[in-house]
C-alpha cells in the first residue's frame, strides 16, 4: 500500500488528508480492520516506537496506552499482585505476560486512557485481546495478531475497531521532516539509546541502586522520549504510574505526574478496592466515580442524595487522613525528567509521592541546590546528560 486516505486531518475541516512515504515505497503497515484517522496514526507510530524500544531495553513484553500523542502509561509484562489486579479489574482473568503489560498500562490512569490507542511490543494473544475488547479504545498497533485474538478484536465497535499490523523490521530514514505553516523542518531522528549506562553518573551521597530502580528509571526515560514536552514521569514496579506532559513549567509537570501517581497508589487503598458499586454502573462511570471518590471533585459521590446513583450501600468516605497515611507509606518510586530541574521544588514535590530514585540530564545553574535537596531526603539521583524533548 503506497498511501492511505484519511477521513480528515486533526479536525473535520482539514481535508484532504493522507499518509504516505516520501520515497514512494510501501507503507510499513497493514490495516487489518477499521479506518484509522490522522490522530490515530500519530498515536500509533509514536506508541509503537515506545514499546519497541522498551522491549529492546528490558527484554520483556511491553504495552502502552496513548492519548493525543502522549502516553498515559507504559508498562512491562511483570505479574500483578492481588491488590493491583483488583485495582485494574483483572482479578478474575488469566493473564499472559503481554496481557500483564497491557493491564498495567491501561489500568494506570483510567480516566485519561478512555478512548486511547494501544501499542503492543509482541504479537497480540487471546489473553490480551480479551482485555482490550472490554475497554473503550480507538485502536491497536502490534507486529502481529494470533488468529483468535484478531477475531475477538474485530468484534469491537460494531466491527469498526481499528487494527494495525506494523512491520517490526521497518527502520525509518535517519532524517525526518515536517511542515509548520508551509515551512519544512528537517532534523536527525532521535536515535539516542536509553540504557543502564546513562545512569552511572550518580551525583548524590546515596549511590545505592537496586535493579528495580534501574529498570523503572529506564521505563520513565523511554516513556518521556515519546511524551510531548515539557514532561516528567513517575515509575514504579515496572510501569509508568504518572505522566505529566506538555506543561510550560517543570514544576507543573512534576505536580501533574505526582498527582496521577498518588491516584494510582490510592486506587489500591482497601476502601477503594471494596467500593460497593451499583450492579448496573458502567465501566466508564465506575472509573469516574473512583476518581471523584479519591479526589473529592465538585460532586462528592458520598454526599446525601448522590451516593445512591453509584453504590448499593453508602460507602465510608476516603478522608484526608486516610490518604495521607496511605501515601506516607509509599517509597522506592523512580522519577525521570526530559530536561534539567531548574529548582529544588520539584524534588520536594516528588518526595511527597514516594520518589527515591531520580534521573535527569543535569546542567542547571542550580544543580547544587537540587542535589542538596535529594541528599536531604536520601534520594539517589543520576545525571544522564541526555535531554529528551519531543514535539
pLDDT single digits (tens) 79-107: 999 999 999 999 999 999 999 999 999 99
Q: Is residue 187 part of a domain?
A: no
CATH code at position 358:
3.40.140.20
Question: Of 56, 68, 271, 296, which residue is the catalytic one?
Answer: 68
pLDDT digits (tens, 9 = 90+) for 218-271: 999 999 999 999 999 999 999 999 999 999 999 999 999 999 999 999 999 999
176 within a domain of the structure (yes/no):
no
User: Which residues span the domain enclosing 363?
Assistant: 193-266+328-383
Please give the tally of structural domains in the chain.
Answer: 3
Average pLDDT value over all residues in the chain: 96
Asked if residue 223 and residue 342 are part of one domain, the reply reads yes
Give the per-residue pLDDT at 241. 98
Same domain, 88 and 130: yes
Confirm whether 67 is a catalytic residue.
yes
Same domain, yes or no: 369 and 245: yes
**How many angstroms separate the CA atoms of 67 and 81, rounded?**
26
pLDDT tens digit sequence for 303-321: 988 999 999 999 999 999 9
Question: Which residues does 315 contact at the CB level (< 8 Å), separation at least 6?
Answer: 271, 275, 276, 293, 302, 307
Tell me what pLDDT residue 298 has: 61
How would DSSP label each residue in 173-233?
-SEEEEEETTEEEEEE-------GGGG--B-SS-----HHHHHHHHHHHHHHHTSPSSEEE
Catalytic annotation on 178? no
Query: Is the per-residue pLDDT at 184 higher than 70?
Result: yes
* Active-site hit among 46, 162, 230, 346: 230
217 and 303, same domain (yes or no): no
Q: What is the mean pLDDT of residues 321-338?
A: 96
The pTM is what? 0.96
Residues 113-171: pLDDT tens digits?
999 999 999 999 999 999 999 999 999 999 999 999 999 999 999 999 999 999 999 99
Q: Which three cell numbers stand for residue 97?
A: 505476560
The answer to whether 127 touches 94, Cβ cutoff 8 Å, is: yes
Distance (Å, whole) CA 259 – CA 329: 16
- Active-site option among 2, 25, 158, 391: 391
- Decide: residue 293, CB within 10 A, 0-12 exposed, 13-18 middle, 19+ buried: buried
Q: Is residue 67 part of a domain?
A: yes
Beta-sheet strands, E only, within 246-378 = 333-337, 355-360
Q: What is the reported pLDDT for 24?
A: 85
Question: What's the CA gap between 63 and 302, in Å, rounded?
Answer: 35
Residues 308 and 236 in one domain: no
77 shares a domain with 19: yes
Determine the pLDDT at residue 345. Answer: 97
Same domain, 88 and 212: no
> Is 390 an active-site residue?
no
In-domain check, residue 128 = yes
What mean pLDDT do residues 24-34 have? 95
At 203-222, the pLDDT tens digits run 999 999 999 999 999 999 99
Cα 38 from chain centroid (whole Å):
20
Amino acid at each position: 500500500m503506497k498511501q492511505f486516505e484519511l477521513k480528515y486531518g486533526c479536525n473535520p475541516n482539514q481535508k484532504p488528508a493522507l499518509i504516505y512515504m516520501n520515497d514512494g515505497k510501501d507503507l510499513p503497515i497493514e490495516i487489518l480492520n477499521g479506518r484509522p484517522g490522522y490522530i490515530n496514526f500519530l498515536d500509533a507510530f509514536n506508541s509503537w516506537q515506545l514499546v519497541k524500544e522498551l522491549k529492546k531495553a528490558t527484554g520483556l513484553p511491553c504495552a502502552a496506552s496513548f492519548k493525543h500523542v502522549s502516553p498515559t502509561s507504559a508498562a512491562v509484562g511483570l505479574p500483578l499482585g492481588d491488590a493491583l489486579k483488583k485495582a485494574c479489574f483483572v482479578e478474575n482473568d488469566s493473564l499472559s505476560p503481554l496481557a500483564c503489560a497491557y493491564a498495567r498500562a491501561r489500568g494506570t490512569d483510567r480516566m485519561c486512557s478512555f478512548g486511547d490507542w494501544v501499542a503492543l511490543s509482541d504479537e497480540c494473544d487471546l489473553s490480551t485481546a480479551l482485555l482490550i475488547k472490554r475497554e473503550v479504545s480507538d485502536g491497536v498497533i502490534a507486529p502481529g495478531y494470533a488468529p483468535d485474538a484478531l477475531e475477538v478484536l474485530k468484534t469491537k465497535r460494531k466491527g469498526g475497531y481499528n487494527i494495525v499490523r506494523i512491520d517490526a523490521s521497518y527502520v525509518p530514514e535517519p532524517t525526518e521532516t515536517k511542515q509548520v505553516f508551509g515551512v519544512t523542518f528537517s532534523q536527525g531522528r532521535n536515535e539516542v539509546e536509553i540504557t543502564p549506562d546513562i545512569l552511572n553518573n550518580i551525583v548524590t551521597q546515596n549511590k545505592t541502586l537496586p535493579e528495580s530502580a534501574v529498570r523503572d528509571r529506564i521505563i520513565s526515560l523511554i516513556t518521556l522520549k515519546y511524551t510531548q514536552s515539557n514532561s516528567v514521569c513517575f515509575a514504579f514496579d515496572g510501569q509508568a504510574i504518572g505522566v505529566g506532559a506538555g506543561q510550560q513549567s517543570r514544576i507543573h509537570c512534576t505536580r501533574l505526574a505526582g498527582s496521577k501517581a498518588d491516584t494510582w497508589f490510592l486506587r489500591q487503598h482497601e476502601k477503594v478496592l471494596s467500593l460497593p458499586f451499583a450492579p448496573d454502573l458502567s465501566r466508564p462511570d465506575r472509573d469516574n466515580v473512583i476518581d471523584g471518590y479519591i479526589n473529592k471533585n465538585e460532586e462528592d459521590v458520598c454526599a446525601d442524595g448522590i451516593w445512591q446513583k453509584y453504590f448499593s450501600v453508602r460507602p465510608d468516605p476516603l478522608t484526608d487522613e486516610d490518604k495521607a497515611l496511605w501515601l506516607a507509606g509509599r517509597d522506592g518510586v523512580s522519577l525521570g525528567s526530559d530536561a534539567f530541574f531548574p529548582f529544588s521544588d520539584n524534588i520536594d514535590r516528588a518526595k511527597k509521592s514516594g520518589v527515591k530514585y531520580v534521573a535527569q540530564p543535569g546542567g542547571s545553574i542550580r544543580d547544587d541546590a537540587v542535589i542538596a535537596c535529594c541528599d536531604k531526603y536520601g534520594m539517589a539521583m543520576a545525571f544522564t546528560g541526555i535531554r529528551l524533548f519531543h514535539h
